[in-house]
Amino acid sequence: MTYAALDPSPFDPHSLEAALDLLASGPLVVLTGAGLSTDSGIPDYRGPGRPPRTPMLYGEFVSGLAAQQRYWARSHLGWGRMRHAEPNAGHHALVALDPELLITQNVDGLHERAGQRSVVALHGRIAEVVCLDCRAVSSRAALHDRMTAANPGFAERHAAVAVNPDGDVEMDDPEVIAAFVVPACEECGGVLKPHVVFFGENVPADRVERCYAAVDGLAATGGTLLVAGSSLTVMSGFRFVRRAAKAGTPVVVVNRGATRGDDLATYKLEVGCSELLRELAGRRVAAARPGA
């Protein structure tokens, strides 16, 4: 692959080559964000040109029916499209790379669908739903069908709205939202919520500890932490970069646009995630061949 294809501007191409050499051998832990899924048609949160937005906070969601109608009306439209997204070349390249652990901030489930061996979905998966009363976990697809039946023609009437990376859409018509019917839990009649971590909630401690253990292991094995497609704005991902850097572990950040971890990165590359990961996978596979 040529440097023109990767286009590391404004960074020196020698940094790109050095970063690829570093990543081509030794253990890897990979942290991915919304930028990895843009090639699957799912927009990112904070990429160049993206308007600022504030997702619904957990406290707002549990405040009552009005907030839940607002969330589910928008999410019903978004997930109806998001569910059809397919893993892209970057997801498949990561399967070939087979890192010690893949930590994702994404809720789209595309790493799992691509066949990734070892994944921690920090923020959960949008394809599951949890009842806040009885804690039963159920299928989002089944709830989607129930919502479609309870709100006939809703998706067709609002087919033009723009989708956000968490499955939300841009829609704030109060009359439309107030008329949206939100089904209850089939087990107990309780309130249903996507089985994802909202802003205002904590990532489950067992997920964080598993990720810390993998990142800590890199220092002992001469490995590298690779960040692909994340601005690292949210502490849930940034803490792993900070921990790796504190331990002296090399960190490579691949993201179009500035990130919170740029000052901690050994190399920062403003290149496409899919292109970089495909190149890296090819190099690691070649290096692993007998006689290479």
Confidence check: pLDDT of 45 > 70: no
Lowest mean pLDDT among 81-85, 150-154, 277-281: 81-85
Shared domain check, 160 and 285: no
66/283 Cα distance (integer angstroms): 53
**Span 232-253, average pLDDT:** 96
Confidence check: pLDDT of 49 > 60: no
Domain with 264, as residue range(s), is 1-42+87-123+203-292
Detail the DSSP E strand segments found in the chain: 28-32, 101-104, 119-121, 124-131, 137-139, 192-196, 224-228, 251-254, 267-269
Confidence check: pLDDT of 219 > 90: yes
Confidence label for 172 from pLDDT (cuts 50, 70 and 90): confident
pLDDT averaged over every residue in the chain: 89
With pLDDT > 70 as the criterion, what percentage of the chain qualifies? Answer: 87
**Span 21-49, average pLDDT:** 85
262/273 Cα distance (integer angstroms): 16
Is residue 76 annotated as part of the catalytic site, yes or no?
Answer: no
Q: Does 273 count as an annotated binding residue?
A: no
Q: Does 188 count as an annotated binding residue?
A: yes
User: Of 167, 196, 225, which residue is a domain's last?
Assistant: 196
Shared domain check, 101 and 230: yes
| Interval 105-114: pLDDT, tens | 999 999 999 9
- Identify the active-site residue in 91, 92, 123, 195: 123
Lowest mean pLDDT among 3-17, 44-58, 72-86, 272-286: 3-17
**pLDDT of the residue at 21:** 92
214/53 Cα distance (integer angstroms): 32
Q: Does 211 count as an annotated binding residue?
A: no
- The CATH number covering residue 65 comes to 3.30.1600
